[in-house]
Amino acid sequence: MRRQLIALGMLCGLLPGFVVHTHAAEAPAVSAASAVLMDAEAGRVLYAHNEQEPRAIASTTKLMTALVAAEYLGGDLSETVEIKREWTGIEGTSLYLKPGETITLKTLLYGLLLHSGNDAAVALAGICGGEVETFVGWMNQRAQDLGMTNTHFSDPNGLGDENHYASALDMAKLGVACLQNPTVAEILSTRTITLEGRQLTNHNKLLWLLPGAEGIKTGFTKAAGRILVSSAQRQGRRLVAATMDAPDDWRDHQALLEAGFADFRIVPIISAGEQLGLRTILGGAGKVRLVAGEDFAFALAQGEQPQIVIGGQNFAYAPVAQGAEAGTAYVLLSGKIVGRVPLVYGETVEQLPPEKKSPWQRLFGK
């Protein structure tokens, strides 16, 4: 991997959020109306097709339901709750909860994600939020927190109206967030489990079809078509794919994930302690090294050449202390900022004592 180090100078332009849109290779052909493949660690969108178009998301809604519920409940899911009548009799896929039944939070969460229980979604919303509407408000707030800019939820299970939607890109962001939650990630990767007499089997076939698959969630309604969010991890790399209205979603995801692992690799670009530039110290002796404060790596395709730009002025005033903040180095790819690394001073530079002048020099300003 080659890189270009650009001289000191002011850097203009907006800094990115988590997701970086830089495509380096042609995406595999897919059946999906919308599709995206993201590198979860680098935050780079590797392939995309209509990725920001809002669409119905069906039961993949339950990823947000599970994330918000797990964050609210914490790691202990052994508590038993009593099922209220208003949480039962929900249409569609169901755990067939009964009024007055007692059940653990663990069974509800597993039933939500593995069996896609619509009643489990309503029960968890009621347990956590008191009112389902309150919980749905939390879901929408969490979507904003994750940068899901083309998303709105109107219920916790995906049976909602035309005001219930998300984009493929937003669902990939949600998938990444779910994998970062240990409780949710463990459930999503479970193939089959029996809890309190209920045998629950994951609907995600990729757990059996694709090496390194970590599961996540399926969804389907006649209006939405087939929706799938998936993830796979190999050699420390994690990729997340999302497709919407995809008649051949299993093949779509296998093609996307395999291409992502084959066409891109994580490349170290900056190493902590590496000298990236020099800065003139006014009132001090000469120049001081600017060194990287941390490592930075990024997903790159063959032949891509990142650039490193040091922002800010090319001088500073003495004194400066070794290890003190010295600005930021930006990593660019195809002219877009894909990362930033803090800079620190490599040495201490003391302020020079003022020069002593003779009466003649003081008189004539020399």
In the chain the beta strands, taken as DSSP E runs, fall at: 4-6, 20-21, 34-39, 44-49, 80-82, 102-104, 192-195, 198-201, 213-221, 225-234, 237-244, 264-270, 275-282, 287-292, 296-301, 307-310, 315-317, 325-333, 336-345
Whether the CB-CB separation of 325 and 316 falls below 8 Å is answered with no
Residue of 62, 106, 173, 217 with catalytic role: 62
Q: Known catalytic residue: 94?
A: no
- Distance between CA atoms of residues 222 and 158, nearest Å: 12
Q: Known catalytic residue: 231?
A: no
Residue of 59, 167, 230, 231 with catalytic role: 59
List, in sequence order, every residue forming a beta bridge with 81; answer none if it has no partner. 103
* Cα three-residue angle 112-115-117, rounded to 5 degrees: 50
Q: Which amino acid is at 182?
A: P
Q: Known catalytic residue: 59?
A: yes
Backbone torsions φ then ψ of 230, nearest 5 degrees: -140, 165
DSSP assignment letter at 8: S
User: How many helices and strands, by DSSP H and E, does the chain display?
Assistant: 9, 19
Residue of 34, 116, 167, 231 with catalytic role: 116
- Distance between CA atoms of residues 349 and 280, nearest Å: 10
Catalytic amino acids?
A: 59, 62, 116
